[in-house]
A and B are shown apart, each in its own frame.
Chain A
Amino acid sequence: QQQVKQSPQSLIVQKGGISIINCAYENTAFDYFPWYQQFPGKGPALLIAIRPDVSEKKEGRFTISFNKSAKQFSLHIMDSQPGDSATYFCAASSNTGKLIFGQGTTLQVKP
């Protein structure tokens, strides 16, 4: 019940395309859903996050869509750029602050 399932494991997108990464959770106590971006040799860095009282959050080219009834959320990267090539992790947490991470998606954006 503490798991967060993420797909796909890897993704290749052409420059300018849309990258979509999906996550699903089971624990209804989760009330915070961040996405982290990780470049090789670096720690994860917060990209964008959403709380379950909204269905969508947009920051620049990055959008989270959240479906509370389905217990699913997704990251959309519009106009994907080669600099977006990284590993993306969805995560979830409740009021303890502990982050439960998904398995990660390695995104490659081809020029």
Chain B
Amino acid sequence: EPEVTQTPSHQVTQMGQEVILRCVPISNHLYFYWYRQILGQKVEFLVSFYNNEISEKSEIFDDQFSVERPDGSNFTLKIRSTKLEDSAMYFCASSEVLAAYNEQFFGPGTRLTVL
């Protein structure tokens, strides 16, 4: 069964460093998302991406964040200068079409720890 994969599973970084989180969405999917989950809290939407453009972004997704689909298979989330509060689980998701009632498939997540 096709699945969304994410690497690394755990990333530890120093405050102020840049990190890149990688995702490989399901191959025939066209819509891509990043969500994050701070420990013990709810899953929060960060950004959606389609046709090499950001479709929508949340207030969390400020200038420190960027997304890219560099090679037609990977989908990356970059945090330019990490803060302590960026420590969270980051989930990539993908869907076949953009419709409210279309399932988003989530990857296993990358745990980001900022020291």
Contact = CB atoms under 8 A, between A and B. Distances in A.
B107 interface: yes
Chain B interface residue bracket vs A: 20 to 34
| Chain A contact residues: helix, strand, loop or mixed | loop
A41 B108 contact: yes
Contact of B103 (A34, A100, A101): A34
Contacts of A76: none
Chain A interface residue bracket vs B: 20 to 34
Interface stretch (B11-19, B36-44, B64-72, B80-88): B36-44
A97 B4 contact: no
30 contacts: A30-B100, A34-B103, A36-B43, A36-B106, A43-B91, A43-B106, A43-B107, A43-B109, A44-B43, A44-B91, A44-B106, A45-B106, A95-B99, A96-B48, A96-B56, A96-B98, A96-B100, A97-B31, A97-B48, A97-B56, A97-B95, A97-B98, A98-B48, A98-B58, A99-B35, A101-B42, A101-B44, A102-B42, A103-B41, A103-B42
